[in-house]
Structures are given as structure tokens and as C-alpha cells.
Amino acid sequence: MSLPHYFQDLSILHINTTPHHAYFIPHATHKSAVENPREYSDYFIPLNGNWQFQYFSSYWDLPENFLQLTPNRQLPVPSNWQNHGYDQHQYTNVHYPFPFDPPYVPQQNPCGWYQRQLNLAPKANKRYLLNFEGVDSCLFLYLNEQFVGYSQISHCTSEFDVTNYLHLGENNITVIVLKWCDGSYLEDQDKFRMSGIFRDVYVLEREAHYLQDFFIKTALNDDFTAANITVECVFSDHHGQDIHWQLFDPKQHLVAEKCGQDFECFLVQPILWNAEQPNLYTLVFRYGSEVICQRIGLRKIEVKNGVLLFNGQAIKFKGVNRHDSDPRTGYVIHCEQALQDLRLMKQHNFNAIRTAHYPNSPWFTELCDQYGFYVIAESDIESHGTNAVYVPTPESSILLGVKTDIDQDAIRQQTIDNYCYTARAPEFKNAILDRTHANVERDKNRTSVVIWSLGNESGYGENFEAAAAWVKARDPSRLVHYENAIFQHSTHQNDTSNLGLHSEMYTAPEDMDAYFANPQNRKPYIFCEYLHAMGNSCGDAEDYFLAMQKYPGACGGFVWEWCNHSPYLARTDRMGYGGDFGDVPNDGNFCADGLVTADRQIQSNLLELKNVQRPIRAQLKDGKVWLTNYWDFTNTAECLSIRYQLSENGIVMQEGKINGIQIAPKHTALLPLELPADNGNLWLLTLFYEQCRATDFVPATYILGFDQLNLFHRPRLPIMPPLGVEPPTKATFSVQEDTKHIRVQQQDHCYVFDKQKGILQQVFHQGKSLLQQPLDFNIWRAPLDNDGLINAHWQAAGYDRAITRAYECHVTQYESAVEIKVKSALVAVSKARILTLDVIYRLDEFGTLHIKIHGEKAPHLPFLPRFGLRFCLDHAYQQAEYFGYGPTESYIDKHQSSLLGHYHTTVRQNHVPYLKPQENGSHYGCSYVNVRSENRQIFITATTPFSFNLSPYRQEELAMKKHHDDLAESSSTVLCIDYKMSGIGSNSCGPALKQAYRLNETLFDFDVKCHFLTHSI
């Protein structure tokens, strides 16, 4: 026996599966249906656990008698076989992992053979439905050596009526799963490619004549004072009995009770559902011996005048794209894992999820109903690999000796035409419609689902137009979304009339301005993906937030993405990414783009988003503090307290707590707090917004966000804190100079300057060297993931290998100081001069080293990653105090999650271990930093706020290594003092860094003082 080739025949999508229908689990009693998870239902027969398993590198290797195999190996179900030593992991974003030759897939198509026993005594008056909630990529089902059926769509349920195949006692279930099928052309999502039975498997025992499907529809009147609930039922045959219906309100009071095959109920003063107040009614209905429980939220989604309204209120999605992904279990996500994600999302002020780019487990949206999240439910469709099909270019035509008039516009259009292949090809129409039906039918009764998405990045054409029309006809109560409708095939005129939103991804915040300036644009604007959170990222989060607030028609966005995709390498606790598994093709660490790590450790990106999305914002205006409530439905008095601190020059002078401030949603109120008078000092008012009553996910006193107001707009501390040591006594100088060096002796200190490079080469104290290497002028940083595009220009200009050379170096000794003036430049081999520098080093009688720098950058060169000084200190310097933005890493465009204040850190604490090493751990807006060993300290200030970084690694080491656990610590402590550093942005897959955040000054001055002291604080 051999497998029939259904898996590469687009005319065959399923064989002997039941029609797509709503997800529900029948129970035997009212109490069980209302209170118990599905596993406690008398009608739910779980088939999870260890199955007999055998892996074949090609389906051609299946023996003729594959139904009689007796392997001695087992594999847990659910699981992905790549996580258990079979096949290999592969990460690819766009490129198909097989030749683009639809509907065919490779002959070397790996497959998994699964088998288990089901001990059952089938009842004569029952039907038995075998459910597979997720199988990648397709499955052949055999029961007692009889072929039952075939199905695909990896992330949707395949259900088979196996009643007629069962017998009393042991029943032998055999499943053949193929790694690829023709459906894989529509499942080219940006993720690790894994295979197998990865979601739950179970049998449902149903009545002989059972309720097959139902559709709960709700309607609200215009002023939301009345609601109508109807339920339309579909039965397995025409012998439908009456159903006993009971409806309970959110407080479990019975509000309606009826009998009949359908249900309709009218409610006065209904209690509405939204993501902030997820109030749910409970509908319980009995059909024969089956009791079904469905939670119902009453809400209305509509668009008026280009504004998305939810229960009459304009809302903003504070959303995130979420994959099912875990470093150990792969695609397998259990309820507790999902709850961990939802808990973290709530605690970080997210209110919406896009199921990217496929339906999640069917119970996932039930959790979103219960805990309050808006959901964009997306079909299991993505085919952006068509982009990789070869397109001739003018350069290739020249090389090939072919005359052509191809220009860049023609190339772009040909690429778009390729992109739209599956969207237009007639042979893919049924598959796209089938996946759309599966998505909508399964989750149509979920309150949290507010938008249907047709899929992701698959071009646009007739197939998606048909899908959108079907969805709009089937469920006009929700909006239809599809971002790729912005792409148009050269021979097709797009029809977007059934799409309810204008969706874009990764465009700049200001791009919304042009959209809303056009009065023809009447659809709400949504970022279905933005803020690519790869590595040290999300630098423009605040800019996006402010841009969205400008327009009522901007309904928010969904950050890409929730978690890194980083499976553990075999038999280790080391996480990998594309290329670590011998996978070709691969897209490297482009999968490490999450707000949290793969094992759900919080990163600074998530903290930044949390505070950008804080529910309250404070503004200083005319000497008073005004608070704005950004919740859509919640008054601040219901769940918020404000704890405040007033500090003067970093010292808290007053603190307290204010309860019960009444601010209606989207309204502003005055903070009842008297502010100090201006006395010339740095006054900061810090407001912490605390949860005052516990919820399911947010404990009482949890800080939902904060604001810090600089009351008199002072950029830095006016007076530096005392050093904690006696001032050094005045000392005379001894100056020695030769052709290479200038040596300045001052009591126990000795400073050595390199005349050829014009830099401080060494500092000695009592004969001990404080610097492990000479002081550098530093313009380079270990490239961020977001620097991927600009980094090529930086390297082309030589920034990564710049060195200092001096043209002139003169020393002058005064009565109370020694001054060394240097004219120098930063240059690189084969490159033109990068910077011209005029530097004055001044040593005063108290041992303070004053470095005054005037820099001039060649105007044609790219903006600089940074400019500053790099000290390679003795390894004993492990501690630091500073006044600046902390305690998290902070940058010019990424410091919403930081507060200005005094902080302490250590070299290791300050380092951020990104999966792929890159620039990290800087602190923005500093007035001073004091780096300490046990008996020495280096106290550094500047005339303007600066950034600093303290690290165990040199930036060259960070740039060179591919994984954090490959890093070798430097023998020195690396201290960077930066005049400025360019911002973080989100350009790994987003707009270029804004001009305002670039270090692109052609002229600049940096004035630094270094105190080398011999007593610790």
C-alpha cells in the first residue's frame, strides 16, 4: 500500500472531514458545563500522551505494510518531531524551504508514522468524532487498518466521524503526517518550520442526532440600552429536537429561559463587554443528553466617519502579534503557557492580539473573552515566498547579453505580480476560501474576535476578494482586514470594498499624515505590524503613540512581535536561531524579534511599550499638572491610585499617595498637588500609577506606568554631589616630553600622553596602571539589529575601524595647570578623513583632567553611531553610581521606561544579554557617573548631559560574536562616555531612524571632567 497523492493535488483539501463549525465541547450536566474545563466532560476522550512513532526521511520509504509496523519508539502527542531528535529545525522568513513548483512538494518529503490504541465500547446511539486540533502539514487517518480520511490546514481543526470504523475493545489509530503538502505554499509564515501533531487529539462522544453548529449573534441599539441575542442552529440531520435554553447575566442571575430549536432574547440595560471590563453572559443549553455552555459578550463594532467605534467609543488597539512558540515545546502551547503570555500582556498595558499568522488553539480566544483582549483572528495563509521568484534586472540583462528596457518601476511591478500569484491563481482559490471558512466558522462565537483577517503577505487578487466577500456576507458584525490589498497586480484592478480597514505595516509614524490629509480615505487606519522588536529596539514607540493620538481614525497597531523564536539546541540550554541547526536556507536571527525572550524573560523593549501605553499621562501646563485618562471605558477612580515623589537635585523632598481621582475615559483633570517654587535647582515630580484593586492578572499596588515631569526644564543637576572624600591637596607638576610622549607627574599620579595619536595613553597611581589600554575617541557601536541597513554605509565610511592620528601636539605648563593642545583626526585605511578634532587636555592642581573637544565631521559622510571617549579600565572597577535615566538601558529615543535619578549598577548588571550580541546597556541624559573599585574611583561629569555605558565586553567582541554565550569578557572594564549616541529606532524591518535621533552634527563640542580619586565613597 502506498499513500495517495492527495497532498499535492489542490483539488483535494479534505476527505471525510466534518464541515467547519464553531468550537464547543458538550458536557453531561449543567454544573460540569459551566464550571469544568473540557477534560472533565464525560463526552471528551483525550488521546494525548505517548504514541508509537517512526520517522521516515521520505514518504517513499514507508513500507507497503506500514499499517502493521511495530516500532519500539514513542513520541509525545502533542509535540513537534524536530524537538525530539528527528529531522532538523529550520528558520526561514520569506523563502520557501522547498522549490517553488506548486502544487508539487519535494520527493524527499519527511513523514511521521503515529499509532496508538483506543479502548472503547461504542454505544449504539452515539456518534464518535475524532478531532485533531493542529497537524503540520497534513494527515492521513487510518482506523483499524481502514482509510478514514485526509486533511490539511496545519492550524485548524480536522474532525472525522469515525463511528463506523470503531469496534468493541482495542481500536488501532494510525496517522501519517507529511512535512510538506500543497497547503505548505500557503503556510510560508515567518517562523521555525516544525512538523507533527502539535495540538490536542481527542474523541467527542455525541448524540446520534447532534447539534453540529450554532451561530450566536448579538445586536445593540444605538444608545446601547437594549440588546438582542439570537442563536441559529445546525443539526447533523433533520431530526432536530427542541433545545432548553438558559441565559445568565455576568453575576449569574437567570435572565432568560426558553425551549425551541433556535434562541432569541431581548435585554434591557445590558451589561456590555470590552477589553477593560470583560463582562460575560453565560448561555447554557441542553440538547438531548448534551449540555453546552457558551460565554457571550455584548458589544458593537462599527465604523462611522472613518472612525472605528466599539460600543460607541473610539478605541485604540494597543496590540501585539503573537505566534505559538516555546523554546522547548515549539508549536505546542498549553493553557498555562498561554495564560503566562496573557498575564504579561495585561501587566504591560496591551489590550489586543493578532493571531499571527494563523488561528491559535480553539480555547485561546475563550481566554481572551474571559480576561479582556481584542483579537484579530487571522486565517492560516501566508505565501510571501513568491517574492523570491527570479526577476530580471537591468544589470542581469547586461550580464546575459540581452537587450532590455527594464527599469526599476518595471522590476518592482514584476515583483508585485509574482507576489500576487496565489492571490490570483484559480487553482488556489478553493484552498484560500477553505482556510477562510475554517477560521471564521470555528471562532465566530468568540466575543473577543472583533476583526477577521484574511491572512498575511500573500499579495492580492480575485481569491482574496472572494474570501472577503464571503466573510462580509457570513458575518457582517465584524470588520474584515487584509494589509496586502495595497498591492495590485498589473492586470487587475483591486476591489477592496469588503475590507473595513486601511492596514499598513512598518511605515513611519508620519506616513499617516498623508493618508488622513486625503478626504477620499474613509477607512480607519491600522498598523497590523509595527515596531519590529528585534534585539535592542522599539526606539520610536513614543513617536508612534503620539502620531496615533492625532487622528480619531487611527485605531492603533500591533507590535511585531510578542516573543523570540529560539529553540534550544539539542541537549543544551542554549537557544539557537536560523543557521544554528544546519538549516539552508535560513534567515539568521530575524526570528529573535520579540518583546520577551523565547522563555518569556522581560526585555527593555517590553518595558518601553508598557510605559508608552500607560493608562494615564501627565502634562505640565502653566505651572499645573494635568492628567489625561487614556482608558477607553474605565474611570480612574475605579482602579487607580497615584503615588508621587517630589525630588530636588535627586533627593526626595516630599512623597505621598492620592486616591480616588475621578477622570472619565478620554478626559483630563487637574492633579491636586501644590508644586514648589523655582529656586534654581532640578525639581522632578514623579507620578506612579498604581492598581488599587487586584484583578485576575494585575495585583493591587502594581505599577501600571509612570510620568516624570521636569518642573523647571533643567537638563541636568546644577550642582554635582559631594565626592565623599577630602579634596586632593594642591600639587605641583613635573612635565617631561620626548618625541613620542608627554609625561605629567603630580604627586602620586602620573599621566602619559601619546603625541602621535594625540590621546591619553595611561594614568598611574602610586605606580599602578588605571587604564588597560589608551583612551579612545569612539564613534563605533556594536551594530544593533536595527543598524542592519545603515551599518553597510558606516562600514563603507570606515567607522568600524577608525583610528586617531595627531597633526600637532603642544604642552604648556602654567602655575596651577598643565595644558596639552592637540589637533588630530579620526581616519580609516582607504577612507577619507571622518572627523577633525581640536582637543585640549588640562590637568589642574587638584588632579582633575579636563578634556575639551571640538569636532568637525565631513558633511557628506553618514551620521555617526556615537561620539565619545572609551576608557579600558583596570578590571577592579566593577561598581558605578550615576545620575541619569535608569535603571533600564536608555537612549535618546528609548527612555520612556526609565526615570531620571541616582542609580547604582555593576558591570555585569548593566550588560543586557541579547541573543545576538549588540549595543546595549547605555544610559541617557547623565549628569555624572562615578566608577569605583574597592579603593579608587573615577568621577566623570560634563557640561551637558551625556550617555555612559559600563560593560565587561569590548564593542568589537559584541560585533564579532553571533551568540551571547560565545562572548569572551575583556580583561578590562569598558567605560564609554558619549557626547551623544544615535537612537535605536526599529529599522530592522521598519522606517529609517528619524533625523532628530541621528548624530549628524557637522560641528560639535564636548567638555568632560575626570576626577581620578583614591578613596571610595
> Which are the catalytic amino acids?
457, 529
In angstroms, the first-to-last Cα distance of the chain is: 81
Gyration radius of the chain over CA positions: 32
Q: Are strands 301-304 and 307-310 parallel, antiparallel or unpaired?
A: antiparallel
* Number of Cβ atoms within 10 Å of the Cβ of 839: 22
Closest CA relative to residue 889, chosen from 623, 478, 490, 605 = 605
- Full DSSP string of 3-65: --GGGG-TT-SEESBPPP------BSSHHHHHHS-GGG-TTEEE--EEEEEEEESSGGGS-TT
User: Angle between the 429-443 and 462-474 helix axes, to the nearest 10 degrees?
Assistant: 30
Phi, psi (deg, nearest 5) at residue 543: -65, -40
C-alpha cell at 373: 483582549
C-alpha cell at 438: 475554517
> Under the phi-then-psi rule, with left for phi > 0, alpha for psi from -120 to 50, and beta for the rest, what region is 937?
beta
C-alpha cell at 901: 535619578
Closest CA relative to residue 168, chosen from 131, 115, 124 = 124
Q: Are strands 759-765 and 651-659 parallel, antiparallel or unpaired?
A: unpaired
Question: Do 632 and 315 touch, CB atoms closer than 8 A?
Answer: yes
CA distance 549 to 295: 33
Question: Do 189 and 73 touch, CB atoms closer than 8 A?
Answer: no
For 688, the 3-state DSSP assignment is strand
Place of cell 491572512: 455
Question: Do 955 and 949 touch, CB atoms closer than 8 A?
Answer: no
Question: Do 1004 and 855 touch, CB atoms closer than 8 A?
Answer: yes
E strands in 49-200? 49-56, 74-77, 90-92, 111-120, 126-132, 135-136, 138-143, 146-152, 158-161, 169-178, 191-193, 196-197
